[in-house]
Every structure is written in structure tokens, then in C-alpha cells.
Chain A
Amino acid sequence: MTAHAESHSAHEKKHHGAGFYIGIWIFLLFCTAATYGAAQVDMGAWNLPVGLAIATLKGAVVCLFFMHLWGDTRANQFILILSLLFVTLMISMTLADVNTRFPLTAPPNSQRFKVNPNGQLE
């Protein structure tokens, strides 16, 4: 492999301009404002999913463009996807577990289980 070919293959194929990164940054700032704005509106149970959805979108944009995962090797993309899979598994299984346990295993004053004045579970 010649030195010339070497220096070229060391980079990714396509290079974005500086303007591209600034565009991504403006988009991220816009999303931040959207998160803040969405939190001021009372959507009941939807506030958390909406906030997390915007955060996930921002995170995806950071990973794909700032961290160059778009068009990166499959190995690097696979690592992130796999780690996120394990995070989802851990949090969902934990919540599924603790919410289906015998109520007395919940911490004192837990709002998950309502107890009536007679001391019985509702």
C-alpha cells in the first residue's frame, strides 16, 4: 500500500463542511428549546415520554453526526446498539419486577400501592 493511498484510506469517504456541524448544533439547540417548552405544557402522563423522545432524538443526532456513526464501520455501530439494548433490558426488567412484587416489598409510603384506612390494599 502506498503512502498516498494510505493517507486517504485513513479518513472516511465523505467529509462534511464546517457549516454542516453548525447546522446540527442549531438543530440541537432548537430541540433543547422544544424540551424546555414541552415541559411547561401540562400533558399529564405524556410529559415524560415526550421529554425522553426529544432527548433520544438529540442523542441520535449527536451519535450519528458529531460522533460520525453515520457511515462508520458496522462494528462501532453494533457496540452502541448492543449497549443500548442492555440498558433497555435492565431498566424494563427491573421496573417490571418491582411493580409486580408482593406490595409489602415496596419502600414505605410508596405511591405504587394504595392502602385504605383499614390497612387493606385497594
Chain B
Amino acid sequence: MQTDAIDHGHEAKPTHLRFQFSDSARQFHAAKFGMWLFLGQEVMFFSALFCAYAYYRNQFPDAFWHASQHLNTKFGLWETVDLLTSSLTVALAIHFIRQGKRGLTSAMLIITILCAFIFLGMHSFEYYTEFHEGLLPGRFFHPEASIHLPPESAMFFTCYFFVTVLHSIHVIIGIIVLAIILAFNLRGKYSSAYYTHVEVGGLYWHLVDLVWIFLFPLLYLIT
């Protein structure tokens, strides 16, 4: 390995290979390892909000149940299906770029971005409804007269808004990341020998899905 790295003139290095790496495999694994470190951090980052949720649900189980009845479960269900589908298409994008099928990869990335926009659209509608019903976090919690909720339900909406808004911010960042990858792919930057961005961007997108998998039963399906 050592001699390989020094022996520059011996054989042409691929253009995507940065000088600090001796070969593509190492560069790929370093990038992936870095992304996993980031994702590990993200899991712990979200867990602070999950912890707050656990604490308040533990203190006010009835208020959480009453509040959860005012969320639109059908919307939650379709958002889950939508995000799972986007996870599939991003996994397929990686699958196709490994085979060097650039066109199919672009198609899969476009579908993923569309799914992300559908998710944001559906969620915006939910926020719109909740805003009109006065189901807002903390001291902004002033439900309409027709809605009878115990005052502690405010804590449910605090948890709900903080965690779903943070999740939606991740969706928006995911859209930007995937759009950049799509633009690079359309310019022919990736091939079966080099697809690090697609793989690493895909990992990020799966995390967004992963967080939602836990949010769906915790927020929408309280019985």
C-alpha cells in the first residue's frame, strides 16, 4: 500500500480519488463511516425530544390520549407509506448506480424528491388545521370552544410540534441534498466505480424515514 501511494507515475489514479487516500475503496469507506458517525449523532439528537415526550406522556397519559385523537391518523398513515416509498426509491437509486444505470438512478431520485414534497404538503395541511383549531404548543395552546381538552394536552402539542418540525427540517435538507446529487448525476459525475454521494445521501434520507417510523405510532396511534 505504502509503495502504491508513493509510486505516482506508475498508473493513472481515478479523478475522483483525493490525494489523502491510497485507493477508492478506502475513500468510499471513510465517507460512509463519516456519514454513520453523523447519523449516530442525529439519533441521539432526536432522542432528547423523544425523552421529553416519554416524560410528559408518563406524567399525563390521559391528556396525551385525548390530544392524540385530534391528529389526523389517516394523514399520518399515508405520510408513513409515502416516506417508506421514498426510502425504497432511494435504495433503488443506489442499486442502479452500482450497475452504472445513470438514467434509472435519476428517475429514482426524482421520485424520492417528489415523495418528499408530498410529505411536506400533507404535513403543512395538518399544521394548517391545527393552527385553526388552536392546537398549538405551550402557552399558545388555545383550543376552539368545541374542542374539550385537558390543559395538560398542551404538552402533547409541544412535543408534537417540536419533533415534527425538526423532522420536517430534515426532510427539507434531504430534498436539497438529493437535488444536488440528482444534478451531479445528470451531468454524468457518477458511475459504477464512483457513487459515494449517492450512497451517503441515501443513508441520510433513510434516517429521515427511520425517525418517522417511530413518530407515527407515538404521536398518531395513542390508545
Interface residues of A (CB under 8 A from B): 1-3, 6-7, 9-11, 15-16, 18, 21-22, 24-25, 28-29, 32, 35-36, 39, 42-43, 47, 51-52, 54-55, 58-59, 62-63, 65-67, 72-73, 75-76, 79-80, 82-84, 86-87, 90-91, 94-95, 98-99, 106-107, 109-112
In terms of DSSP, what is the predominant structure of the interface of chain A? helix
Q: Told that A66-B90, A90-B44 touch, could you supply 8 new A-B pairs with CB distance under 8 A?
A: A10-B25, A35-B216, A35-B221, A55-B216, A63-B210, A90-B48, A109-B152, A111-B60
* 5 A-B residue pairings within 8 Å (CB atoms): A6-B14, A10-B194, A67-B203, A90-B44, A95-B58
In terms of DSSP, what is the predominant structure of the interface of chain B? helix
Contacts of B6 in A (CB 8 A): none
Bound-state Cα–Cα, A104 to B85, Å: 47
| Inter-subunit contact B39/A10 (CB<8 Å) | no
Q: Which of B8-29 contact A (CB under 8 A)?
A: 11-12, 14, 22-25, 28-29
Whole-angstrom distance from the CB of B177 to the nearest CB of chain A? 15
| Inter-subunit contact B77/A36 (CB<8 Å) | yes
| Inter-subunit contact B59/A112 (CB<8 Å) | yes
Give the nearest-CB partner of A65 in chain B. B91
Option from B37, B51, B87 in Cβ contact (under 8 Å) with A90 = B51
- Size category of the B interface is 35 or more
Contacts of A43 in B (CB 8 A): 223
- Evaluate whether A39 and B84 lie within 8 angstroms (CB atoms) in the complex, with A16-B95, A66-B206 already known: no
Option from B91, B95, B202, B217 in Cβ contact (under 8 Å) with A55 = B217
